[in-house]
Structure 1
Amino acid sequence: MRKLSILLVLFLLITAKPVVHGMESDEMIDLANFTISNGIPIESWQVTMKESVTAEQAERQLDKMKNGSFVTRSEDGNAIKYLLREDAKHNALQVSYTIVIPKDTTIKSEIIVIIEGTKWNEEIEGNYLSKKREIVEKYLTETSKTFACLTTDFSGIMESDVLVEEIISYFDLRHIKTQFDTVKNSTHKKIVYGYTDLWKENFIIDDAPLNLQLAIATNEKEELKYTIGTPILIHEY
């Protein structure tokens, strides 16, 4: 997912989370429902939850997370990093936790939780929501931020322009911007940005809010593959 993460590095402006039919919209479920409704096979999906905390809070959460998880510790000149993975897959989900404690005490520590998988159906959706709720209750607070990313298999089901129109309609996308990749041998031929009222985070470019990014790629058979997600700000320590 690292290459895809680089595509999604964007600055955030946090706004109030919209409520749809009395419930908060979940980005991952919205992305999966769109993909499945168009008959496009999902290759992988990932949800990242991030929160900045004090070093003391990070250490307390680390102690709580250690039960039932395999822990790896690494250190460099900038920070101490702990990676924890749950012992087994949780109902087709893989869950990992990263705690980063910078050595510069003026910089806040960070808790990063990743839930990911390679399949999606109603049962997995229920397990995902249950696991996400459990993580938020145990380790995070209401100030945490959630980001979602989904990648499809190569598919000849839909043309690129048709896909973009479907996404615009499905998410009621506004403030649409399109970039074309002219780099030779690049797999990503088009990147589309837009804004939907459904989701919490957004960033501002040219005075317009944006919070959805679509990267479209084709293979030698001109089959379509896309990565669609919400923007994420990545800290490198």
Structure 2
Amino acid sequence: MKKTAVIYILLILLTAKPMVNGMERDEMIDLATFTQEQGVAIDHWQVTLKETLDIEKINQIVEDMKNSRLVTMTEDENVIKYLLRDVHKEAAIDVTYSVVIAKADPYQAEMIAVIEGSQWSSQIEDEYLSIKRLIKKEFFTESLKIFACLKTGIGGIMKADDFVERITNYFNLEHIVTQNDTIANSSHEKVIYGYTDLWKQNFIIQGTQMNLQLAVVTDDDKNLTYTIGTPILINEY
């Protein structure tokens, strides 16, 4: 059973971003490096870039998208949505671009780019960074929000408490909050929130900074699935 993360108070803050070897840290690379060092298989990873842009820039993006035969357009009573998918087969990376124009406010629209894959290696890491830089340069400004998410494969090779302890120590997590829940199909879910000063964005829960969320789900066969997100999980897990 998957569940969408619900946050009652969510505020993204921008601060000075730490550097690694003279370069900005990348949250996805940090998550993938940690997971691989623990000997846990990566099942899926995803980086989402989002920003609300003025309609002039959006119109140009939409016109460029329309030049592709792969673009699709859908419309309902509330929004018009353009979707374009770009597959990088050699690097096993998918990129999806979408523009969402709300009919209630036609002067602004949301631009979303999603980079994702089901494998991770040094080659994929390099290609991911290249794709991300190009997307940021072409579509976004410094005001964009970036969400990284990584999901592990199902397995029982490490106890949940051990994994939580390792991620806590690895990222030097502070302000740790744990939420336990039992889902209708009897699987057990634990969600841990924490804060690390390694990354740029964070959100506020009851006056406390947070920027890492870990969901631990145990199915009926006692298999564990870990889903890690920063600054928060915006997808189901």
The normalised TM-score by structure 2 is 0.90
- The percentage of aligned residue pairs carrying the same residue is 49
Amino acid at match of 2:18: V
Amino acid at match of 1:168: T
Q: Is the 8 A contact 1:8 1:213 kept in 2?
A: no
Q: Structure 1 residues 51 and 88, CA, compared in 2 at 3 Å: closer, same or farther?
A: same
Aligned to 1:221: 221
Aligned to 1:14: 13
Q: Is the 8 A contact 2:10 2:205 kept in 1?
A: no
Aligned to 2:195: 195
Q: Structure 1 residues 90 and 148, CA, compared in 2 at 3 Å: closer, same or farther?
A: farther
In the alignment, structure 2 segments of 5+ residues that lack a partner are none
Aligned to 1:49: 49
1: distance between equivalents of 2:110 and 2:220?
41
Partner-residue secondary structure (3-state), 1:181 = strand
Aligned to 2:40: 40
Aligned to 2:103: 103
In the alignment, structure 1 segments of 5+ residues that lack a partner are none
Amino acid at match of 1:129: L
Partner-residue secondary structure (3-state), 1:213 = strand
Q: Is the 8 A contact 1:154 1:218 kept in 2?
A: no
Amino acid at match of 2:53: V
The normalised TM-score by structure 1 is 0.90
Q: Is the 8 A contact 1:8 1:230 kept in 2?
A: no
Partner-residue secondary structure (3-state), 2:182 = coil
Amino acid at match of 2:45: W
How far apart are residue 63 of structure 1 and its match? 2.1
Amino acid at match of 1:178: T
Q: Is the 8 A contact 2:92 2:117 kept in 1?
A: yes
Coordinate RMSD, CA, aligned: 2.2
1: distance between equivalents of 2:186 and 2:136?
38
2: distance between equivalents of 1:193 and 1:205?
10
Q: How many residues align?
A: 232
Could you give the per-residue CA deviations for residues 193-222 of structure 1, whole angstroms, max 9, x where no partner exists? Answer: 001111122111122101110000123332
Aligned counterparts, 1:115-130, within 5 A: 115-130=115-130
2: distance between equivalents of 1:91 and 1:232?
26
Amino acid at match of 1:144: L
2: distance between equivalents of 1:69 and 1:119?
28
Q: Which moved more, 1:169-178 or 1:23-32?
A: 23-32
How far apart are residue 68 of structure 1 and its match? 4.7
Could you give the per-residue CA deviations for residues 12-51 of structure 1, whole angstroms, max 9, x where no partner exists? Answer: 3222142223321111101100100000001111100001
Amino acid at match of 1:27: E
2: distance between equivalents of 1:45 and 1:82?
23
Q: Structure 1 residues 88 and 109, CA, compared in 2 at 3 Å: closer, same or farther?
A: same
How far apart are residue 128 of structure 1 and its match? 0.2
Aligned to 1:160: 160
2: distance between equivalents of 1:26 and 1:187?
33
